[in-house]
């Protein structure tokens, strides 16, 4: 059934959630989990559900995304028919590139028209989960829904700049839908929409065309909230682990959650997460290395102490250095006798001998790409 579904991934939406990490890249290409980019989780969910065509909507800063995706072969998405199809913004002299999700969808109607799949699954890149898209499409079909929105029950109020909560009735039909509701109570359960949505392709195309003629601009306000009584909008309760990246604090917290076995089992167990292959050598642990409760990617060379950390590919940790509670991205070089605690370093950072950097769990110290300290 998932063979009859085409994927659409929004690579830029939510960039503002973690401006430090998305300054030079899309949300989709934000590194996560040692050797992945956020888009790998959304893409792998689709590929593992049998989807073979994924349109990727981009807007700006997408060089790193193109570099990451290449031909799509690492996701088994280098296909004669379909595969990965990049959808950069379309504009001519009179138009500006899109500013809303609905305008972006208007810009890809050509792509949607040319496909033959029955269903479209639309996903953003701000979530890390193991989601079977096939289950959601089957649910959508069984309910005879116009739109199925995936939600996750969250206790923590959402800090995102833009979020939607859903009120389903006992059949799953959404009877109330709020955009950016205020006065959320801590400790109370909310059904947070996780930015994954299923529609029939035909319904989506008709909806977009209708929105164009009426001059709508917001998918949330003009289509979802206005039509909650007339459209059959259903909620799919995703009960698995879901990590939404809505802030740097979230990013840090969810990175550290990967150190828990049950989280790793759910995200990585029984299936593959596809990512770009780099042909790094296996990581090396030298005499004197002390590594505890950490995820270490390929190409690392460790001579110091690493505790409660996520090390991306090709990180060097020198003798006498102690790195704790930190996320160290690709090709960082950490010299000797360095001390790091609650630090997030972007790619290609060099930290010279005897430096000390520390943040705290709610405010990790961030070092931007390519800096030398």
User: Interface with other proteins by CB under 8 A: which residues?
Assistant: 33-35, 73, 259, 264, 267-268, 272-274, 277, 279-299, 301, 303, 310-311
Residue number with CB closer to other proteins (74 or 135): 74
CA distances from 2 to 7, 53, 133, 197 (A): 10, 11, 7, 14
Query: In the 8-state DSSP scheme, what is residue 320?
Result: T
Residue number with CB closer to other proteins (22 or 297): 297
Q: What is the Cα–Cα distance from 292 to 306, expressed in whole angstroms?
A: 6
Helix or strand holding residue 344 (H, E): strand 343-345
Q: What is the Cα–Cα distance from 325 to 339, expressed in whole angstroms?
A: 11
Sign of the dihedral through C-alpha 70, 75, 76, 77? negative
User: Closest approach of Cβ 210 to other proteins, in Å?
Assistant: 42
Residues 289/283, Cβ–Cβ less than 8 Å: no
User: Closest approach of Cβ 40 to other proteins, in Å?
Assistant: 11
User: Closest approach of Cβ 237 to other proteins, in Å?
Assistant: 27
Residue number with CB closer to other proteins (155 or 290): 290
Residue number with CB closer to other proteins (45 or 246): 45
Q: How many C-beta atoms lie closer than 10 Å to residue 286's C-beta? A: 12
Token pair 């160290």 is at which residue?
A: 328
**For strand 164-168 and strand 174-179, is the pairing parallel, antiparallel, or unpaired?**
antiparallel
Cβ neighbours of residue 92 closer than 8 Å, sequence gap 6 or more: none
User: Closest approach of Cβ 306 to other proteins, in Å?
Assistant: 8
Residue number with CB closer to other proteins (94 or 270): 270
User: Closest approach of Cβ 367 to other proteins, in Å?
Assistant: 20
User: Closest approach of Cβ 74 to other proteins, in Å?
Assistant: 9
Q: How many C-beta atoms lie closer than 10 Å to residue 40's C-beta? A: 26
User: Closest approach of Cβ 201 to other proteins, in Å?
Assistant: 30
Cβ neighbours of residue 347 closer than 8 Å, sequence gap 6 or more: 31, 312, 329, 330, 331, 332, 369, 370
Residue number with CB closer to other proteins (230 or 270): 270
User: Closest approach of Cβ 293 to other proteins, in Å?
Assistant: 5
Residue number with CB closer to other proteins (41 or 366): 41
Residue number with CB closer to other proteins (78 or 373): 78
Token pair 């208007």 is at which residue?
A: 106
């Amino acid at each position: 059934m998932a063979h009859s579904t085409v994927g659409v991934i929004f690579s830029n939406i939510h960039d503002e959630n973690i401006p430090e990490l998305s300054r030079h890249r899309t949300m989709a290409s934000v590194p996560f989990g040692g050797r992945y980019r956020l888009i790998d989780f959304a893409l792998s969910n689709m590929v593992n559900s049998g989807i073979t065509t994924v349109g990727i909507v981009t807007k700006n800063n997408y060089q790193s995304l193109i570099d990451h995706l290449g031909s799509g072969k690492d996701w088994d998405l280098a296909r004669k028919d379909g595969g990965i199809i990049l959808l950069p913004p379309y504009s001519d002299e009179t138009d500006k590139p899109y500013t809303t999700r609905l305008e972006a969808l208007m810009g890809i109607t050509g792509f949607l028209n040319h496909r033959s799949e029955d269903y479209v699954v639309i996903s953003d890149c701000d979530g890390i989960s193991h989601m079977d898209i096939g289950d959601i499409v089957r649910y959508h079909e069984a309910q005879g829904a116009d739109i199925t929105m995936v939600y996750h029950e969250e206790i923590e109020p959402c800090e995102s700049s833009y979020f939607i909560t859903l009120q389903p009735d006992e059949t799953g039909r959404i009877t109330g839908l709020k955009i950016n509701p205020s006065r959320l109570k801590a400790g109370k359960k909310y059904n947070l929409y996780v930015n994954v949505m299923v529609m029939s392709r035909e319904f989506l195309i008709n909806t977009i065309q209708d929105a164009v003629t009426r001059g709508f601009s917001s998918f949330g306000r003009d289509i979802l909230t206005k039509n909650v009584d007339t459209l059959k909008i259903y909620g799919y309760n995703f009960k698995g682990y879901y990590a939404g990246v809505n802030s740097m604090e979230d990013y840090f917290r969810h990175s550290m959650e990967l150190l828990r076995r049950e989280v790793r089992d759910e995200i990585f167990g029984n299936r593959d997460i596809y990512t770009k292959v780099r042909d790094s050598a296996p990581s090396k642990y030298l005499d004197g290395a002390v590594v505890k409760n950490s995820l270490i990617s390929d190409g690392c060379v460790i001579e110091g102490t690493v505790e409660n950390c996520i090390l991306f590919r090709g990180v060097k940790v020198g003798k006498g250095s102690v790195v704790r509670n930190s996320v160290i991205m690709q090709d960082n070089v950490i010299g000797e006798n360095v001390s790091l605690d609650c630090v997030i370093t972007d790619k290609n950072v060099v930290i010279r001998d005897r430096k000390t950097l520390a943040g705290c769990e709610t405010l990790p110290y961030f070092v931007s790409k390519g800096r030398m300290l």
